[in-house]
Structure 1
Amino acid sequence: MEYLDFELPIKELEEQLDKCELIGKESEVDVTESCKNIEKKLLKTKKEIYKNLTAWQRVQLSRHPNRPYTLDHITALAGNTFMELHGDRTVKDDKAMIGGLGKIGDQSFMFIGQQKGYNTKTRQYRNFGMSNPEGYRKALRLMKMAEKFGIPVVTLLDTPGAYPGLEAEERGQGEAIARNILEMTRLKTPIITIVIGEGASGGAVGIGVGDVVYMMENTWYSVISPESCSSILWRSWEHKEQAAEALKLTAEDMKKQKLIDGIIKEPLGGAHYDRETAFKEVEKTILEAYDKLKKLSTTELVKKRMEKYAKMGEFKG
């Protein structure tokens, strides 16, 4: 397990607990009471740390190397029913954007999301979760396929942003994202969107126009990352913590501003501490959301979705 800087007190207590349990196994000394005391202290420390997280600490948790990525969620949700589909039928297959058909129970879904890598090799292969235009065009192709067959769409957001390279701009990065936003607003099938990690800029919004949008507890969603915001305003990354607070990018902030529909609770310490529980919460959220959306007619569905986004940013003076 890797620990973030603010988690070091937890690391120390977990190491103490491991040593205590080892002594109990390797010797005849009864250390049961000592281990129980450390366990109590560990639980108390965890609760104190995780209930008072700053916006920047949430950002750090969303990027935790052990945090489950899109494919982890899809595998847990759909198991061996998932069939990945490739290519945008124009340029190539974007490895940062994945999608395909899968089932949760008896219900089919079109799963689409950004995929990051687990090590240097896979991070390069997945382009660090940053999609090129062909990734967004592939996503749109799959959404249109889902619409044709009346299959609901589930999008899982986890990206530091769309790929900013020259070749991406040459192939129409801005147009591809804008086209997705336009087409998603009028797609005639339910769209359930969940931020499972980083939700940065147009890279996330390009597959994030949902009938319902949820954020996992330790994720963020914003037009810009705290580091980039800091570098623009202060010409340095040193003010990233201040930028994170000002951007109001946490799930709680987004819910208060009515930009998302709900927050998915995570296990104490984050989704990586208890993956199975996190996966079950995501599954429960998807099924509950679909249960409500499937009752709407196509016309009502599209109308409500358009109204939802038209209301955002409205203020009465």
Structure 2
Amino acid sequence: MAIATSAKRPALGKGLDALLPPKPGTAPAAPSSNVGKIEASAAEANAGTPLQIPLQRIEPNPFQTRTTFEEGALTELANSIAATGVVQPITVRSLPNGQFQLIAGERRWLASKQAGKETIPAVVIKASDAQTMEMTIVENLQRADLNPMEQARAFERLGRDFHLTQEQMASRTGKDRASIGNFLRLLRLPPEAQEQLEAGTITFGHAKALMALETPEQILSAMRKVNALSLSVRATETYVKRLLSPEAKLGKAAAEEEQIDPNVKDAQDSIQRRVGLRTRIEDKKGKGRVIIEYRSLEDFDRLLELLGQ
């Protein structure tokens, strides 16, 4: 069976697509009968044509921005590859030592090894270190399974190593420019907060809310309370707003206190002195409720003792 070849691709400088592998369906993977000795020069001469390359001749990508792979999903992919093979070829470049270096498709490469495959369909292209790094970063950012910190570091690398503006990053990756700005802001989080975001202990929404605080100490203190109370993103936003404007909170409390009937206020103060806990009486025309706040189980036990329980 003949292997379909794709049209010659333009060089870098005419768009990143010039170096990306063909989409599924445009160039089917080579059959296993094509497995054999693959020379780098011959592979590059057939650029765009998927070739079956031995897995042991492929080296990992040193520019990879992904740091974690979900084991369950990787095993599922390995099972699928064991049954039906690799649907979309990976992309590699040839190295001077006769080996090949992975550019795109690390999950397929890892899953193929896990599935016990000896070869994998791959498109061989010519690419410099700089081109390989850019392709790797952009290819990863176009995926949906990077955690927020991996995305933040990838965008930071595009700006640092390739001097791309946020607008250019948005054009290259298809992301919204405002979203890119939010990801880059994550790098200002304290290391402990970055670790918890990467581990999934807090979400991107929690992190955005916490970043409104001014100092690392404030962020970490608030984050620990968010975790301890299992606050939602909305509750975290409200909590942070209160931290940022305590004057408004105190002003509201003072205004409410001024509206309390003097007799109710005296009773409220009397109970508060008696139990040693913050007390509020909400009274409306002789009906209402008494609210006694406690901050620990010890406070609660002492309150029960005072009530004769």
Pair in the same fold by TM > 0.5: no
Instruction: Please tell me whether Structure 1 or Structure 2 has the larger radius of gyration of its CA atoms.
Output: 2
Q: TM-score, length-normalised on structure 1?
A: 0.23
TM-score (structure 2 length as normaliser): 0.23
